[in-house]
Amino acid sequence: PFARVACNDPALIKRLLDCGAMGVVVPMVNSAEQARQAVAAMKFPPLGIRSSGGGRCTVYGSDYFNWANDEVAVIVQIEHIEAVKHAREILSVPGVDAGYIGPNDLAVSMGLPPDGFVTHPDQAAAVAEVLKAAKEVGVPIGIHTFSVEHANMRVQQGFQFVACGSEANFMRQAAADALKKLTRE
């Protein structure tokens, strides 16, 4: 199980890990230093600052502390133009397992309206720059998409994981489709 934390805060990250998350997605990582902070929060000493006390993470077995540093995934979100400028450095931080682009936040940080389909040329160039950086440093990169066609296009471009829409939008669309099928008498 993976979880997205609200912000790059060791206390919040620890809470998710103690509940059994095997990976944490950390939003708004805009520098290598912020990436190092995220990694440190998810690693036990000597690799990090994660506390070894308490929590429910031991559901994975008494040997959890022996293998967690190697198995718990650190995924940093590159969703701000500052992060794009530092993508190579961020993705090169030891312990960062993957990057993930949030296209709406990226657009807003560029002074553009939210655009999950990345239609503005400047936003498209920023996404391409992050993809290139990830390929150069050998770190998997993902992106949020808003349709199956868009997801397939991103996979063809070299993105290694994509999210397609959201559960809220899927539920909204299913409800709208059901309402259209109802007959009124």
Q: For residue range 29-74, what is the model confidence (pLDDT) as tens digits? A: 999 999 999 999 999 999 999 988 766 666 788 888 889 999 999 9
How far apart are the C-alpha atoms of 125 and 133, rounded to whole Å? 12
Cβ count near 63 (within 10 Å): 9
Structure tokens at 45: 């000493």
Q: In this structure, are residues 40 and 10 in contact, taking their beta carbons and an 8 Å threshold?
A: yes
Structure tokens at 142: 């993902």
Q: H or E stretch including 143? A: strand 141-145
Query: Is pLDDT above 80 for 184?
Result: no
State the first-to-last Cα distance of the chain, in angstroms, to the nearest integer: 47
Query: Is pLDDT above 80 for 17?
Result: yes
Q: For residue range 123-169, what is the model confidence (pLDDT) as tens digits? A: 999 999 999 999 999 999 999 999 899 999 999 999 999 999 878 88
Q: H or E stretch including 23? A: strand 23-26
Q: Give the per-residue pLDDT at 55.
A: 63
Query: Is pLDDT above 90 for 177?
Result: no
Of residues 111 and 169, the one with the higher pLDDT is: 111
Q: Give the per-residue pLDDT at 68.
A: 93
Q: Give the per-residue pLDDT at 59.
A: 75
Instruction: Give the pLDDT band (50/70/90) at residue 173.
Output: confident
Structure tokens at 59: 């559901």
Structure tokens at 8: 């790059």
Residues 6+ apart with CB under 8 A from 154: 143, 145, 162
Instruction: Give the pLDDT band (50/70/90) at residue 185.
Output: low
Cβ count near 156 (within 10 Å): 8
